[in-house]
Amino acid sequence: MSLTHETTFGCPYCMAPNSLEVDPINDLGQHQIVDCQVCCQPIELWIQETGNGEFEIQAQTDDE
């Protein structure tokens, strides 16, 4: 049994879908920087829970 939940978000540079494993205990409310899985640009992420085990990921470029 996995304790993480797979979530997707769009890259703000190339708009490609990216997947992210979210740990609801440690990742909520956190600011993270990850590289796009397609174009390798750095993306700033904020992870919030929307309810019912769903997560919202706000993604923006690192210069916004």
pLDDT tens by residue, 15-45: 999 999 999 888 888 899 999 999 999 999 9
The SS3 assignment for 43 reads strand
Return mean pLDDT, the chain: 90
pLDDT at residue 64, as a whole number: 65
Please tell me the distance from the alpha carbon of residue 24 to that of residue 5, in angstroms, as a whole number: 8
Dihedral (Cα; 2, 32, 64, 49), 10-degree rounding: 40
Geometric angle at alpha carbon 39, from 28 and 59, rounded to 5°: 25
Token digits of residue 50: 């929307």
> What is the mean predicted confidence (pLDDT) over 40-57?
89
Question: Does the reported pTM lie above 0.85?
Answer: no
Largest CA distance in the chain: 38
